[in-house]
Amino acid sequence: MQNILLLGAGRSATSLINYLKKNAEKEEWHIKIGDFDINLAEEKAGGHPNTSFIQFDILNEIQTKDEIAKADLVISMLPARFHPKVATACVDLGKHMVTASYNSPEVNDLSDIAKSKNTLILMECGLDPGIDHMTAMEAMNNI
């Protein structure tokens, strides 16, 4: 079973959480939802058998590293200012990370280290940002 750690359970994470829960059994995923508001994380988990939830505080470095260490994939839906903290911990631990958010200079600076560890840090893969990049790539591939 693949362990997915989803950080942030706010409104922009709702569709993603529903997608992950819908496909969790078939894909053999366990989804751990972490949010500062544990009640929100519990609500989004919705009692699904392939989900669990935790109170998560990105400013708690010990908890951040402990939870990321247990994951196969980290999805950050936290506010953009926290992505460098998540990305740094993921690179340190060799854990893959994806987010819908824009890239930042701090995360970009991790690129060489991430590559040397064969660790994926994928930014801008949501609807906005994201779809604009995908449609541009499609157009370029069709030239």
If DSSP states are collapsed to H, E and C, what string results for 97-121?
EEECCCCCHHHHCCHHHHHHCCCCE
pLDDT, tens digit, 9 for 90 and up, residues 87-137? 999 999 999 999 887 778 788 788 899 899 999 888 877 655 555 556 667
SS3 string, 23-62, reads HHHHHCEEEEEEECCHHHHHHHHCCCCCEEEEECCCCCHH
Can you give the residue ranges of every domain in the chain?
2-141
In this structure, what are the phi and psi dihedrals at residue 58, rounded to the nearest 5 degrees? -60, -25
Residue 9: is it exposed, middle or buried by C-beta count within 10 angstroms (0-12/13-18/19+)?
Answer: buried
| CA atoms of 36 and 57, how far apart (whole Å) | 5
Question: Quick one: DSSP state of residue 127?
Answer: S
Please give the pLDDT value at position 122: 81
Q: Could you tell me the pTM of the whole model?
A: 0.86
What digits encode the pLDDT tens for the residues 8-45?
A: 999 989 999 999 999 999 999 999 999 999 999 999 99
Judge contact between 45 and 16, C-beta under 8 A: no
Cis check for the bond before 129: say yes or no (omega within 30 of 0): yes
Q: Which is the CATH superfamily of the domain at 2-141?
A: NAD(P)-binding Rossmann-like Domain (3.40.50.720)
Question: How far is 100 from 31, CA to CA, in rounded Å?
Answer: 18
